[in-house]
Every structure is written in C-alpha cells, then in structure tokens.
C-alpha cells in the first residue's frame, strides 16, 4: 500500500487510539507498522457531525481518503439504550449510511467498519461465530443500536454486489485499554471497576463489586485490537465479518478481573462481592477460529500486563480521562 490516506473515524476513542499507538510504535514497514507513503488521519467528532451528509462529505473532501476504518458511533450504557432505542437506531443508521455512501461516491478503495457482539441474536447457540449474526432478533434492551450495527453488514454486501465496493466489518468482543470510558454511570465492566476501585482506595472505603464474580468473559486489549484492524485493512478482502477476540480458552471470571484490578491499583482495603445483586449472563463465548486461521496466529498481550498498562494510563491521565466526574461537579 503506497500513497494511501487512511481515515479513521472515531479516532480519539478507545479503539482509534489503540490503532494509533500501534502505527506510531511498531517498526516502520513491519506487518503492523506504518508503511512508506501512508498517511493516517485520526478524525474526531469535533471535525464534523457524521449524522449530516454534507459534513461527512466535507470531511472526505478535506482528507481525500483512499481507505477508511469506521469506528465512529453514538453509544451509551444499558439505561440510555433502553430509554432511547429510536435515537440510537436513527443516529447510527445515519452515520453508517453517510460513511459508506460517501466512500462509494468518492471511490474509496476499502472500508472496514466496527460492529459489536450486540449484533448477535439474543437467543443463540454458543460459541458465537460469524455465521450467526442474522439468525434472530438481538437483545431487546438495545435493539435500536444493535440493528443499526447489524445493518452495516447488509449495506456492505449490497454495495459489493451492486457497485463492487470492498466494504467489510469487524466484530470485537469486550475491548479495554487506555482512552476507554471510565464514567461509572455507563462504562463497561473493566473501566468501571478500575475507577470504582481507585475511588475506594482514595476515600478509604470498602470496594464492593456487584454480583458473585462468577460470570466469564473474553476481553481484548485495545492495542492488540489495533493490530487486528490494521491486518484487516491490509490483508483481508472478503465482505464477511471477522470476530476479533481472544480464544474461548482465554475466558476469565469477573472475580479474576477484579483481583487483578485490586492488585494493579494497589487497593488494600475491604474488598467484597454483593451477591444479592444480579450477575447478568453467565457466559457468551465467541470463536476466534476464523481470525487465527486467516492471520496465521497472533501473539496476545497477557491480560494482567494489559490491565497494568490500562490502570497506569488511567492514573496518569485521570484529569483528562472520560470519568463523568467533571459533569457532576459542573451540575
């Protein structure tokens, strides 16, 4: 790939910054490193509202991308989704339609869009794999967001069939790392627990975790995920999505995660599980067999190392990280 301009939408977020870190730190010209004559643009929401077709076109006119990694989305926690399924559906449908249609109009060579495991049916046999996306309706709590993401797969196939576009998509499992959302109200499990543990340490209060700690999850470090997106951009040219995940054997319990967080934060106070609180789904494993067979193997960052990096980043960047604390003090 030479003379290419890669536009990353949602470039300031967790996954975008994971990709940026790899491009800036891997040896130039290596499998994941920056290539000669390659320009990487990490666009942020301040550069244009992608729900608006004209603003989207202006962004493409400004950078003239040859390739796009599409990460931008309107996201929210469980309660936000439950209250606003229509908004999440419409906003994300507009963003995705504008990106894909503008990419087609401007003759972009390739688009890799980021989906989510919420695209899978609520009632499905495990492990999840790429063939099961459309086998039934998604979970009712966030069906608007889920259907908007699921529709990207349909759009990719339609643009390929009618226009020959090289559009594809990735489905990461639970991502964590630097630049995550640590807002206690709507963060995912790892950043929420890191933030909660840090506050307990600072305030000398007990660290109480909801549930039994028994559910199992697969977590992928954002910088490992960054390498996988770069691989997809350069080496994967099929319309079918690819699940980007650690293997099923790498499932870990929420208690193992919390133990590692307590250690990384250096919390020495009272640490318990509130077993009266609901656990959520026990496990929802996804298969990474397709990914590993196509990539020819992958060296993952050990979970505890990745968690240490994430905690260290959060401590060093607490004042600028997405914690939700500033909006509370401003209110």
Which amino acids are annotated catalytic? 145
Backbone phi and psi for residue 188, each to the nearest 5 degrees, phi listed first:
-75, 175
Round to whole Å and give the CA distance between 134 and 157.
13
Give Cα separations from 307 to 98, 123, 143, 193 (angstroms): 36, 31, 31, 11
Q: How many residues does the chain have?
A: 331
Backbone phi and psi for residue 123, each to the nearest 5 degrees, phi listed first:
-105, 110
Each as own residue / partner, the long-range contacts of residues 12-15 (CB below 8 Å, 24 or more positions apart, any chain) are 12/42, 12/44, 12/45, 12/179, 13/71, 13/179, 14/175, 14/176, 14/177, 14/178, 14/179, 14/180, 14/181, 14/222, 15/71, 15/114, 15/172, 15/175, 15/222, 15/225, 15/226, 15/229
Round to whole Å and give the CA distance between 63 and 43.
10
Round to whole Å and give the CA distance between 35 and 27.
9
Is 219 in contact with 249 (CB distance < 8 Å)?
Answer: no
Closest CA to 193 of 99, 100, 259: 259
Round to whole Å and give the CA distance between 195 and 264.
12
């Amino acid at each position: 790939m030479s003379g290419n301009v890669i536009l990353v939408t949602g470039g300031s977020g967790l996954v975008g910054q994971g990709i940026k870190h790899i491009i800036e730190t891997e040896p130039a010209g290596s499998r994941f490193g920056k290539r000669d004559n390659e320009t990487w643009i990490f666009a942020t929401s301040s550069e244009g509202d992608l729900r608006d077709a004209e603003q989207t076109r202006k962004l493409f006119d400004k950078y003239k991308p040859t390739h796009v990694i599409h990460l931008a989305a309107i996201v929210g926690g469980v309660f936000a989704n439950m209250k606003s399924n229509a908004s999440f559906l419409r906003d994300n449908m507009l963003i995705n339609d504008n990106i894909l249609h503008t990419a087609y109009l401007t003759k972009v060579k390739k688009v890799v869009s980021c989906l989510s495991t919420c695209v899978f049916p609520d009632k499905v046999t495990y492990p999840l794999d790429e063939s099961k996306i459309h086998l039934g309706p998604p979970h009712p709590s966030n069906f608007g967001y889920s259907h908007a993401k699921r529709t990207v797969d349909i759009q990719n196939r339609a643009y390929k069939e009618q226009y020959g576009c090289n559009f594809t998509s990735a489905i990461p499992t639970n991502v964590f790392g630097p630049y995550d959302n640590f807002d206690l109200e709507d963060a995912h499990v790892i950043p929420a627990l890191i933030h909660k543990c840090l506050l307990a340490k600072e305030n000398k209060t007990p660290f109480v975790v909801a549930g039994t700690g028994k559910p199992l999850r697969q977590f992928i470090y954002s910088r490992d995920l960054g390498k996988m997106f770069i691989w997809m951009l350069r080496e994967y040219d099929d319309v079918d999505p690819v699940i980007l995940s650690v293997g099923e054997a790498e499932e870990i319990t929420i208690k193992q995660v919390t133990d590692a967080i307590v250690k990384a934060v250096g919390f020495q106070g009272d640490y318990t599980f509130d077993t009266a609180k609901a656990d959520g789904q026990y496990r929802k494993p996804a298969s990474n067999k397709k990914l590993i067979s196509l990539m020819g193997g992958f060296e993952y960052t050990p979970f505890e190392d990745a968690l240490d990096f994430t905690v260290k980043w959060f401590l060093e960047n607490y004042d600028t990280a997405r914690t939700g604390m500033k909006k509370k003090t401003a209110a």
